[in-house]
Structure 1
Amino acid sequence: MSIVADSDSIKLTTIKSNQDTVTGMENCEFTYEWTIKNCNEVYGDKIKSPSFSSHYSGFDDEWILTFCPTDDQSEYIFRERLEKIKWDGYISTSDFVEPENGYVQNNELKICCTITMSKKLTNKSNVISSIDARKQLSVDWKKLFLSEKSADVTIKVGQKSFRAIKGILAVRSPVFAAMFSHEKFKENEKNEVVIEDVEEDVFEEFLHFIYTGESPKLTYYCVT
């Protein structure tokens, strides 16, 4: 006789996932807890759990557990699925019914099932992930620019002074790179640069571009 357990007898307890852009794989691991009530009364019957799923991303998975306490082919039942799951750790009937082993408590049996799935990331997923990462990087660099943290040089333009980081300026501009690579340059000795013939707001927008790679207000500006 086969019995299907109530839908509320199984619940999701944990789920965790990650995307590995190096290997191009997306992984999901989740655990369900299935409670078989009135275990002593139904002992001897084949019991099936309600179907369950990770409900994660595009895995489109569906699972069913089968409990066969008196079936010698319990191992084979796990192998029937298309996923070819191998299960060598099944519990013998004699161990299961022994009260001292504590498998059944308060006439209930709890079965925890942890499943790990993997699939290749689609090109679309990689593109979206890459775009999101670039956006976040731009936001983070903008915060660094506005906070002036770790700034080690002052740039004077007109009546305004801007604090910046030499390393970032040097990497992004060959002019600044040459200026800061020579110790004898007065700009490098004083950690102060004076720039003339440039409007304050234009240079501020230029610094914004140096840090974030974005320049919504600047239509044309070139440093040679």
Structure 2
Amino acid sequence: MSIDDRHKTPQSFVPRRLIQLYAGLVLYGASMGLQLRAGLGLEPWSVLNQGISVHTGLSMGTVTIASGALILLLWIPLRQRPGLGTVSNVVVLGLVMDATLALVPDLRALGIRIPLLVFAVLLNGTATGLYISARYGPGPRDGLMTGLHRRTGRPVRLVRTCIEVAVLAVGFLLGGSVGVGTVLYALAIGPLAQFFLRRFAIKGLPEQPSLVAARNSSPPERAILSE
């Protein structure tokens, strides 16, 4: 930590934190839309949202917003408290995803779709590091995971795996897209998120529990990604 960082108050970091939060959420929503356009398989929650979209006729963005809001209701018995980042996550991701889908046409050439998939996953990891490092609260899905982790005492990885397998299975049964992109996302997002969390960490900001992927031995308050 530099001398300047040591003399900064938490309020001094607010402009940067807000920029990171909303830049991260915008890029995250864009990455979701690009992965859908790649047409090679989605991450678990998007598989579920796509399945719901198929049966309701609602846009993917609208379903993403609605599902995020419903998941927040599950926070109540878990005694989770939403932050600015949580509420912003619910709204921004869906709006940006729909905007991205409107701007990027359907693609057929595999030579374009494969690089687009790789770029979308990389962008998602970058976005994850940006918005989580801002420390304005987890997204509704991450909060559900950490809430269950704290209430049950089960390892975060086990809780996350159970949730995502269930979500993926339901989404697949509803007609969501599962493929190589689903596998690539599952394998890459953890290492990418951890790398970018360290890259975008705000030096001098008071330590708080980290949020994205934890070691099995981590206590509840150190819930998801060790920085």
Q: TM-score, normalised by structure 1?
A: 0.22
Rg larger in 1 or in 2?
Answer: 1
Query: Which structure carries more strand by proportion?
Result: 1
Q: TM-score, normalised by structure 2?
A: 0.21
Query: Which structure carries more helix by proportion?
Result: 2
Query: Relative contact order (alpha carbons < 8 A, sep ≥ 6): 1 or 2 greater?
Result: 2
